[in-house]
Chain A
Amino acid sequence: MNNPDPISVFRTEAAELLEQIESGLLDLTRSLEDRDQIDAVFRGLHTLKGSGAMFGFEALAAFTHHCETAFDRVRKGDVPATHELVSAVLSAQDHMRALLETPNGDHDAMSAALLDNLHRAVNGAGSPTPITTVIATNPVVEKAGGLREWRIRFSLPANAMANGTNPLGLLDEMRDLGDCRIIADTTKVPELATLDPRGIHLAWDVTLKTEKPRSDIEDVFIFVMDDMALEIMEVAVDPPATALVDMPVAKAVVVTEREAPAVQAANDSKQAKSAENVRVPAERLDEMMDRVGELVIAQSRLTQLAGTAADLGLRSVSEEIERLSGELRDTMMVLRMMPVASLFSRFRRLVHDLSRETGKEIELITEGESTEVDKTVIDRLADPLVHLVRNSIDHGLEQPEERLAAGKEAKGKVILSAHQTGGEVIITIKDDGRGINRERVRAKAEASGIIQPGATLTDQDLLQLIFQPGFSTAQTVTNLSGRGVGMDVVKKTVEALRGTIDITSKPGEGSTVALRIPLTLAIIEGLLVRVGQGCYVIPLSAVEECLELSLEDDLRSRGRSFISLRDSLVPFLRLRELFRTGTQPDPHQKVVVISTGSERVGLVVDQIIGDHQTVIKSMSKLHHDVVTFSGATILGDGSVALILDVTHLVAAGQQQEAQLRAAG
């Protein structure tokens, strides 16, 4: 049997639980009386505690227990939820991560300090609130009095025991409610060979006579309610005379019985939904992606062989495999895609903390969270985005009084958005702060020797200076930013993902940083071209159109490197010259017009071979600084073709052009 390490599984699930708890706490900061969030946080803490104890994370379980107790008091209405309490649990939650990561570390002092903070928050939360104010959310069934009999049938989520729920404890709680008869149903337990022994396959039928309301029965299952199947039916009420008078109870019976199938259907739906998802380790996806890449290369070889063979059967099979491998590649790409919501969600906490640290009022708005990108992009963009959001808040947003004086709302906005366009996803960080001070950027760059004093720069070039190594305009170094590290790393990381950064800023209105990242990183559709004796791949997503460059046009354009394209002049680069191939131009040269952000540029090549599924292989470390190529690929005949990094290529070409012009 190939079972994953249970500790590793626990760590993964605990990390997810912590994220859910954090999300619930952050939601609570907006609406402190949100009962659903209070329950969700409580359930999360309870599950974390239980499963932590089960898997030997005793310190985590013991520490979490205190937070759970605090939220239990909130849930019961003993203390109100306050911003102080939520903040205390948020801080405690960070510590839980540490306890999860290094269970044997020396955490005692930090645990004690955080618990002290928590107790102060609980004790300072004001006078107790009567429990009834919380319970009163379920008015119809709260009417107690009179013995009633309930039939309860339930089965727990399959992973309940593995997550730390003790079914026997639930049954004990049920017995505490009154006269109880419990019968275990073993009919769905499979034979031993097919049993998942950590899952629960048992169900229970319970007959309960109690004076307690239905909500007390439901409370028994509060921690597992989301995924379990639960039927509660009242089968008898007090003597008829009482029932006739006590209309609310009689009404409750009708509602309850009607509810049962609906509840069951909802539960079935939830179970079916959870069964639709399979957790797969990320490295297996990476392995599979590599295999698909190799398959695409092999298929390319087959296509080439079939193209030169006279065997029609071989050609037919080759075409079929080409189609299938294309579909497999597309499916694989989709498998690797994740919504950016998983990336954006972590910024809620960051902004919450920064707001407290800086005293600035900040509203974080996220848009386009369902936009999907390759999981590698999600992983690698997390840190750069943290830097950018921190910079927006620290340098961009003003203090409330400064904003008010400028006629703005006291609360500053940071908008984090994502959208897909063509083969790229654009992630934008926008703030409505003071904007970038260009004079200060220039002065700093000149003082640091990044530019010559008085150098002529376009506005975009000036703004891009903030991504230079060692650059910082912060007058004082803060905990948030201004250490002169980070922004250059942001740029390098984005470029490593074959992306670009655009920045715009208006004084007094704010700044926008846009990261343009290719949707996929492993296989792209490319246009295979020949320049001299070598083959090169141009990413198809950047290609707008292809034209023929006649010998006459070529000669006529010499010295100015522009072609006229539908009444507009488009600059072009002769790749043969740029790559110094030393070969004569083909008599039928082609121009591939590409688009890089706002610019259109033509690339002159000797021959367009055709489209090509391009499996991207990284360049060796020796070629790390060759920025005009983003990687290499293996062609069907086993030869290597370099993949053009069009953004850098155009920049290099423009630089070369400028040098030529300067030389006269």
Chain B
Amino acid sequence: MSSPLPGDAPLTLPATLTIKNILAVQELILDFLNKNTTTVLDIDEEAQIDLSFVQLVTAARKQAEMKAGRVLLARPATGDLYDVLKRGGFLDDMTPEAAHFWLHQETN
């Protein structure tokens, strides 16, 4: 587990990350993942997010693990993203790894 480093490539995502444009977001992240070992997702704090995006990020993490890469968040989840995680049942009984990924919480 690690946090984004200054040299890690960030991928700035659009302000809408919902089912309406989730196909485009998938292609965007997939393309970036294929070109980079580390993918840092830069999500606007004001971004509009729904469950499809959280599922997409989960899938992206699995994809990265397959090729020994990694996906990180540029900053801990806030705003809509935090709300979706909470309402979607991702924060109850969170594993340390998940807590580190989504909330940047240290695991000790």
Proximity bits, A171-198, B CB within 8 Å = 1, else 0: 1100000000111101001111101011
B87 touches A171 (CB 8 A): yes
Given the interface pairs A1-B27, A172-B87, the reply to whether A192 lies near B19 with Cβ below 8 Å is: no
CB distance from A21 to the nearest CB of B (A): 24
B10-38 near A? 1/0 per residue, CB < 8 Å: 00000000011011011101100100000
**Whole-angstrom CA separation of A3 from B26 in the bound complex:** 13
A186 near B58 with CB under 8 A, answer: yes
Residues of A within 8 A of B19 (CB): 54, 161-162, 197-198
A-B pairs, 5 with minimum CB distance: A182-B89, A192-B63, A184-B89, A191-B63, A197-B22
Enumerate chain B residues within 8 angstroms of A200, measured Cβ to Cβ.
51, 55
Within 8 A of B (CB), among A546-578: none
Residue B48 CB within 8 A of the other chain: no
| A residues in contact with B52, CB < 8 Å | 161, 197-198
Contacts of A181 in B (CB 8 A): 92-93
Instruction: Give bound CA distance, A204 to B92, whole Å.
Output: 11
B59 contacts A167, C-beta separation under 8 Å: no
With CB as the reference atom, state the residue of chain A lying closest to B26.
Answer: A197
Residue B88 lies at the interface, judged by CB distance under 8 Å to chain A = yes
- Determine the distance from Cα of A162 to Cα of B84 in the docked complex, in whole angstroms: 17
For residue A73, which residues in chain B have a CB less than 8 angstroms away from its CB? Answer: none
8 other contacts beyond A167-B51, A181-B93, A192-B56, with CB at 8 A cut-off? A161-B52, A162-B19, A183-B89, A191-B59, A191-B66, A192-B30, A192-B59, A193-B30
Within 8 A of B (CB), among A205-246: 206
**B90, A184: Cβ atoms closer than 8 Å:** yes
> Which of B25, B56, B89 is packed against the most chain A CB atoms within 10 Å?
B89
Q: How many angstroms between the C-alpha atoms of A192 and B65 in the bound complex?
A: 11
A182-B51 contact in complex given A1-B27, A195-B56, C-beta closer than 8 Å:
no
Determine the chain B residues whose CB is within 8 A of the CB of A189 once the complex forms: 55, 58-59, 62
CB of A662 within 8 Å of the partner chain:
no
Interchain residue pairs with CB less than 8 A apart (13): A54-B20, A161-B51, A162-B19, A171-B87, A182-B89, A184-B89, A192-B56, A192-B60, A192-B62, A195-B56, A197-B19, A197-B26, A198-B52
Decide: B23 and A1 in contact? CB cutoff 8 A.
Answer: yes
Question: Which residues from chain B contact A182 at a C-beta distance below 8 Å?
Answer: 88-89, 92
Report which of A1, A3, A167, A201 forms a contact with B88, defined as CB distance below 8 A.
A167
Q: Which residues of B contact A186 (CB under 8 A)?
A: 55, 58
Question: How many B residues, CB 8 Å from partner?
Answer: 28
Task: Decide: B51 and A168 in contact? CB cutoff 8 A.
Answer: yes
Identify which of B59, B62, B92 gathers the most chain A CB atoms within 10 Å of its CB. B59
Chain B residues proximal to chain A, CB less than 8 Å = 19-20, 22-23, 25-27, 29-30, 33, 50-52, 55-56, 58-60, 62-63, 66, 84, 87-90, 92-93
Binding site for B on A (CB under 8 A): 1, 3, 54, 161-162, 166-168, 171-172, 181-184, 186, 189-193, 195, 197-198, 200-202, 204, 206
CA distance A197 to B20 in the complex (A): 10
The answer to whether B92 and A168 touch across the interface, beta carbons within 8 angstroms, is no
Q: Which chain A residues lie closer than 8 Å to B89 at the CB level?
A: 171, 182-184, 204, 206
Count of A-B contacts judged by CB separation below 8 Å: 83
B14 to chain A, nearest CB (A): 14
Contact A198-B88, Cβ < 8 Å, known A1-B27, A161-B52, A192-B30: no
Q: How far is the CB of B21 from chain A (nearest CB, A)?
A: 10
Determine the distance from Cα of A428 to Cα of B27 in the docked complex, in whole angstroms.
54
Chain B residues positioned under 8 Å from A1 (CB to CB) = 23, 27
A643 vs B87: C-alpha distance in the bound complex, in angstroms? 67
Cα(A201)–Cα(B33), bound, Å: 21
How many Å lie between the Cα of A182 and that of B84 in the bound state?
13
Given A192-B33, A197-B23, are A168 and B62 also a contact pair (CB < 8 Å)? no
Least CB distance from B84 to A in Å reads 7
How near does chain A come to B25, taking the closest CB pair, in angstroms? 8
A298 to chain B, nearest CB (A): 39
In the docked arrangement, what's the CA distance between A167 and B54, Å? 12
Chain B residues near A3: list those with CB within 8 A: 23
> What is the chain B residue whose CB lies nearest that of A182?
B89
CB distance from B75 to the nearest CB of A (A): 21
Q: How far is the CA of A239 from the CA of B59 in the complex (A)?
A: 44
Whether the Cβ atoms of B27 and A198 lie closer than 8 Å is: no
Q: Closest Cβ of chain B: how far from A178's Cβ, in Å?
A: 15
Residue contact B63 to A198, C-beta cutoff 8 Å: no
Query: Assuming the A-B contacts A54-B19, A162-B19, A197-B26, are A184 and B88 also in contact, with contact meaning beta carbons closer than 8 angstroms in the complex?
Result: yes
Please report the C-alpha to C-alpha distance between residue A1 and residue B51 in the assembled complex, in whole angstroms: 22
Which residue of the partner chain, among A166, A171, A197, A204, contacts B56 with CB atoms under 8 Å? A197
Which residue of B62, B87, B90 contacts A190 across the interface (Cβ within 8 Å)?
A: B62
Q: Which residues of A contact B20 (CB under 8 A)?
A: 54
User: Which residues on A sit within 8 Å (CB–CB) of B55?
Assistant: 186, 189, 195, 197, 200-202
**A172 and chain B: residue at smallest CB distance:** B87
- Smallest CB separation, A318 vs chain B (Å): 47
Inter-chain CA distance A527–B51, complex, in Å, is 62
| Docked pose: A200 CA to B50 CA in angstroms | 12
Residue numbers in A under 8 Å from B63 (CB-CB): 191-193
CA distance A435 to B18 in the complex (A): 61
Q: How far is the CB of B70 from chain A (nearest CB, A)?
A: 13
A191/B51 in contact, CB under 8 A: no
| A175 closest partner in B (C-beta) | B87
Q: Is the CB of A195 within 8 A of B23?
A: no
